[in-house]
């Protein structure tokens, strides 16, 4: 097995940043360099505040990047109270824009760039847009040291490794590179926890002696903290396909229970009771059976569509249609919810205010890609409301305003410009005088549980058991669509109390300044 001294991760996004940080954190003797073509992103990774919010991420980055003494991490047993202080360590995590240099220095190169759905040309609407991945493959082919192990971390179509091998052969004929597939299964909002305690790590390689040695080298990196029985090695095509299938099957469960929710609403059955009853069956299990407004995020939809495209290109029309229906049902669930809200408001929003609580695609993340909230806002806007108030505990309001403007095609979108959208810095203000409050993400503070903050968030990220100890807010909204003054007062106090603990996180710092008098 080759000695690994330097790992280069290309792509400093939601996957590359946290994955590289945890690898560096757990392998203090290995230098891990994250490179990206976006200098702003790299600057932010080098600052005190990472460009993305994930519970516990800032702490892990600080420890690995700065060798910080002050930080502490929760114990493996997940006991937040007994978090052990760290002694200083040599910094081994770096962020850089010097892509070719660090690719050239590394024994292992992880490629973690974006692979969205293609929106024009052949396969538009379902095929994967490989522009970024191909560009990086070209750079790696030119600059990687002979014998380097190149790893697909991005989610890519099945048989991408073959295309990579061909690209490498064109650029560097006669030089041997091993290509591995190592898809990432982390979920936004629990990325650090998922990386520290993965259900499994999957490594696909060619079934050759050199392929197996390369897989073993990568396995030894994860072996620093992941039990060996959780590191699965397969052939490279199985590994590539398994990632698409995992996301498609998770999404399929959500669409299945949402289709049942529609039946429940017409029959008097309660979908939560049905889901609980069904979930007790060990063959089915109780995860991903929560009915709601459908899934969002950058991955589920694009990965199902990639599976649809793969099926179509293999001539498997019935298979393609089966999986496409998961996306169709998801859109139906979201639209059914919005139309129900409009119906409850006498089929008109003229002169009315509607509040959307939650803008990210789920709780504890600032990731807003493919967020259902945005589609809901768009549909509500068509009804000509007086105001659409938006609040999200993890998203920066300034960024939200810009993003909403862009996504709605510019023009007069915000209230300050004569439009209807107002982005709030506290839930209390957003809900004031509203005709309807729509809870569009499962943030704890919109329900019955208090949010995780500061050190508690880091502890929970690193320790699933610690989550159970979080006390439950005694005063949830009795009726979220029509909060009473007491409900709102409790929520307000609650947000203020938690704000102080969040002071280290700029993404959440605006929490600390809700304007009580003007909004009570
Ligand atoms: P992202 O958009 O957050 O980050 C991608 C980064 O790659 C960006 O910072 C971009 O600047 C950089 N990049 C693009 N082209 C580049 C180039 N030529 N050279 C250098 N840098 C370049 O994407 P992400 O969410 O981190 O996703 C990355 C991959 O991981 C995707 O394939 C995705 O499907 C997969 N994935 C994502 C998640 C998730 O929760 N976001 C989970 C599992 C897997």
Do residues 384 and 238 share a domain?
no
Do residues 17 and 127 share a domain?
yes
299 is catalytic: yes
For position 36, what pLDDT does the model report? 98
Task: Give domain status of residue 160, yes or no.
Answer: yes
Task: Give domain status of residue 35, yes or no.
Answer: yes
Residue 133: its H or E element: helix 131-143
Spatial distance between the Cα atoms of 261 and 248, rounded to a whole number of angstroms: 20
- Is the pLDDT at 31 greater than 80, yes or no? yes
Task: Give domain status of residue 276, yes or no.
Answer: no
Q: What is the CATH number of the domain that holds 358?
A: 3.40.50
Task: Give domain status of residue 316, yes or no.
Answer: no
Task: Give domain status of residue 271, yes or no.
Answer: no
Please name the residue that has the structure tokens 């995590």: 93
Task: Give domain status of residue 408, yes or no.
Answer: yes
ipTM reported for the complex surpasses 0.95 = yes
| 211-225: average pLDDT | 98
For position 411, what pLDDT does the model report? 82
Spatial distance between the Cα atoms of 448 and 125, rounded to a whole number of angstroms: 39
- 365's CB contacts (< 8 A; 6+ apart) are 52, 53, 54, 188, 189, 394
Question: What does pLDDT average to over the chain?
Answer: 86
Nearest CA to ligand 1 atom 19: 37
Task: Please give the torsion angle defined by the CA atoms of residues 428, 431, 437 and 442, in that order, rounded to the nearest 10 degrees.
Answer: -20
Probe residue for ligand 1, chosen from 39, 114, 195 as the CB with the greatest number of ligand atoms within 8 Å = 114
> Per DSSP, what are the bridge partners of residue 350?
385
For position 43, what pLDDT does the model report? 98
HEC string of 449-470 equals CCCCCHHHHHHHHHCHHHHCCC
For position 445, what pLDDT does the model report? 85
For position 360, what pLDDT does the model report? 93
Q: What is the CATH number of the domain that holds 113?
A: 3.40.50.720
The tokens for 248 are 């498609």
Burial classification of residue 84, based on how many CB atoms lie within 10 Å of its CB (0-12 exposed, 13-18 middle, 19 or more buried): exposed
The residue from 243, 258, 283 where one domain ends is 243
- Is the pLDDT at 468 greater than 60, yes or no? no
- Stronger pLDDT, 326 or 88, i.e. the higher one: 326
Do residues 220 and 368 share a domain?
no
Probe residue for ligand 1, chosen from 298, 301, 303 as the CB with the greatest number of ligand atoms within 8 Å = 298
List, for residues 438-457, the tens digit of each pLDDT value: 999 988 888 865 554 544 44
Angle at which helices 454-462 and 485-501 pack, to 10 degrees? 80
The residue from 209, 226, 243 where one domain ends is 243
Ligand 1 atom at shortest distance from the alpha carbon of 153: 30
Do residues 53 and 199 share a domain?
yes
Task: Indicate the DSSP class of residue 87.
Answer: P
Ligand 1 atom at shortest distance from the alpha carbon of 12: 9
Task: Give domain status of residue 253, yes or no.
Answer: no
For position 71, what pLDDT does the model report? 45
For position 41, what pLDDT does the model report? 97
Helices vs strands, H then E, count in the chain? 20, 14
Give the strand order in the sheet containing 387-391.
Answer: 421-423, 387-391, 353-357, 436-439
- Reduced to 3 states, what is the DSSP secondary structure of residue 382? coil
The residue from 208, 243, 278 where one domain ends is 243
Q: How far is CA 361 from the centre of its chain?
A: 8
Do residues 351 and 217 share a domain?
no
Q: How far is CA 294 from the centre of its chain?
A: 15
- Is the pLDDT at 504 greater than 60, yes or no? no
460 alpha carbon to ligand 1 midpoint, in Å?
25
Comparing 81-90, 138-147, 269-278, 470-479, which segment has the lowest mean pLDDT? 470-479
Say if residues 140 and 39 touch (Cβ distance below 8 Å): no
Helices (H), 345-415: 372-381, 397-407
In the chain, the percentage of residues whose pLDDT exceeds 90 is 76
Say if residues 408 and 381 touch (Cβ distance below 8 Å): yes
Pocket of ligand 1 (CB under 6 A): 10-16, 36-38, 41, 99, 112-115, 132, 135-136, 154-155, 184, 186, 188, 298-299
| 237-249: average pLDDT | 98
Which one, of 102, 146, 110, 103, lies nearest residue 2 by Cα?
A: 146
For position 89, what pLDDT does the model report? 84
Say if residues 269 and 288 touch (Cβ distance below 8 Å): no
400 alpha carbon to ligand 1 midpoint, in Å?
20
- Is the pLDDT at 519 greater than 70, yes or no? no
Spatial distance between the Cα atoms of 263 and 344, rounded to a whole number of angstroms: 19
At 36, give phi and psi (nearest 5°): -155, 150
Ligand 1 atom at shortest distance from the alpha carbon of 303: 34
Spatial distance between the Cα atoms of 239 and 230, rounded to a whole number of angstroms: 14
List, for residues 170-193, the tens digit of each pLDDT value: 999 999 999 999 999 999 999 999
Spatial distance between the Cα atoms of 289 and 272, rounded to a whole number of angstroms: 9
List, for residues 339-397, the tens digit of each pLDDT value: 999 999 999 999 999 999 999 999 988 899 999 999 999 999 999 999 999 999 989 89
For position 334, what pLDDT does the model report? 97
Do residues 73 and 190 share a domain?
yes
For position 407, what pLDDT does the model report? 86
Q: Domain range for residue 113?
A: 6-243
Exactly one of 9, 299, 394, 395 is catalytic; which is it? 299
In sign, the C-alpha dihedral spanning 209, 215, 221, 223 is negative
Do residues 214 and 359 share a domain?
no
Q: How many CA atoms lie within 13 A of 274 on its CB side?
A: 18
Nearest CA to ligand 1 atom 25: 14
For position 83, what pLDDT does the model report? 44
Task: Give domain status of residue 311, yes or no.
Answer: no
For position 7, what pLDDT does the model report? 98
pLDDT band at 490 (very low <50, low <70, confident <90, very high): low
For position 486, what pLDDT does the model report? 56
For position 365, what pLDDT does the model report? 87
- Is the pLDDT at 515 greater than 50, yes or no? no
Number of domains in the chain: 2
15 alpha carbon to ligand 1 midpoint, in Å?
6
Comparing 78-92, 430-444, 474-488, which segment has the lowest mean pLDDT? 474-488
Spatial distance between the Cα atoms of 222 and 23, rounded to a whole number of angstroms: 7
**Overall residue count recorded for the chain in this entry:** 520
- Is the pLDDT at 483 greater than 70, yes or no? no
211 alpha carbon to ligand 1 midpoint, in Å?
25
């Amino acid at each position: 097995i080759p000695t690994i001294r330097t790992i280069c991760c290309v792509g400093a996004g939601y996957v590359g940043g946290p994955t590289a940080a945890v690898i560096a954190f757990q392998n203090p003797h290995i230098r891990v360099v994250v490179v990206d073509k976006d200098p702003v992103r790299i600057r932010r990774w080098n600052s005190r505040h990472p460009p993305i919010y994930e519970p516990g991420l800032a702490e892990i980055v600080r420890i690995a990047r700065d060798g910080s003494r002050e930080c502490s991490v929760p114990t493996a047993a997940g006991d937040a109270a007994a978090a052990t202080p760290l002694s200083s360590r040599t910094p081994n995590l770096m962020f850089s824009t010097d892509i070719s240099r660090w690719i050239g220095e590394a024994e292992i190169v992880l490629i973690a760039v974006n692979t969205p759905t293609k929106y024009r040309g052949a396969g538009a609407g379902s095929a994967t847009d490989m522009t970024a991945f191909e560009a990086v493959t070209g750079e790696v082919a030119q600059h990687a040291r002979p014998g380097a192990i190149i790893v697909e971390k991005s989610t890519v179509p099945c048989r991408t490794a073959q295309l990579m091998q061909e690209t490498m052969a064109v650029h560097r004929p006669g030089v041997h590179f091993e290509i591995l597939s190592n898809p990432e299964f982390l979920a936004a909002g629990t990325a650090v926890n998922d990386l520290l305690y993965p259900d499994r790590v999957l490594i696909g390689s060619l079934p050759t002696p050199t392929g197996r040695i390369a897989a073993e080298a990568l396995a030894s990196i994860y072996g620093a903290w992941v039990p060996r029985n959780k590191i699965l090695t397969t052939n490279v095509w199985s590994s590539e396909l398994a990632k698409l299938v995992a996301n498609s099957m998770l999404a399929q469960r959500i669409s299945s229970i949402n289709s049942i929710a529609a039946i429940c609403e017409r029959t008097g059955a309660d979908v939560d009771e049905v889901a609980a009853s069904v979930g007790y069956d060990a063959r089915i299990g109780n995860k991903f059976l929560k009915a709601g407004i459908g899934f969002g995020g950058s991955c589920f939809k694009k990965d199902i569509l990639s599976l649809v495209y793969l099926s179509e290109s293999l001539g498997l029309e019935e298979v393609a249609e089966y999986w496409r229906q998961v996306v169709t049902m998801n859109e139906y669930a979201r639209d059914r919810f919005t139309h129900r809200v409009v119906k409850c408001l006498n089929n008109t929003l003229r002169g009315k205010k509607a509040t959307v609580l939650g803008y990210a695609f789920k709780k504890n993340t600032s990731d807003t890609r493919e967020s259902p909230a945005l589609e809901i806002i768009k549909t509500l806007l068509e009804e000509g409301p007086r105001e659409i108030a938006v609040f999200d505990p993890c998203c920066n309001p300034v960024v939200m305003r810009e993003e909403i403007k862009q996504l709605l095609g510019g023009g007069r979108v915000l209230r300050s410009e004569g439009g209807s959208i107002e982005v709030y810095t506290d839930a209390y203000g957003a809900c004031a005088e509203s005709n309807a409050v729509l809870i569009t993400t499962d943030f704890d503070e919109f329900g019955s549980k208090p949010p995780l903050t500061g050190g508690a968030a880091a502890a929970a990220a690193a320790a699933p058991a610690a989550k159970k100890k979080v006390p439950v807010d005694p005063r949830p909204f009795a009726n979220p669509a029509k909060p009473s003054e007491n409900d709102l007062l409790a929520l307000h106090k609650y947000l203020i109390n938690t704000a102080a603990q969040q002071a280290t996180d700029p993404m959440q710092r605006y929490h600390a300044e809700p304007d009580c008098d003007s909004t009570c």
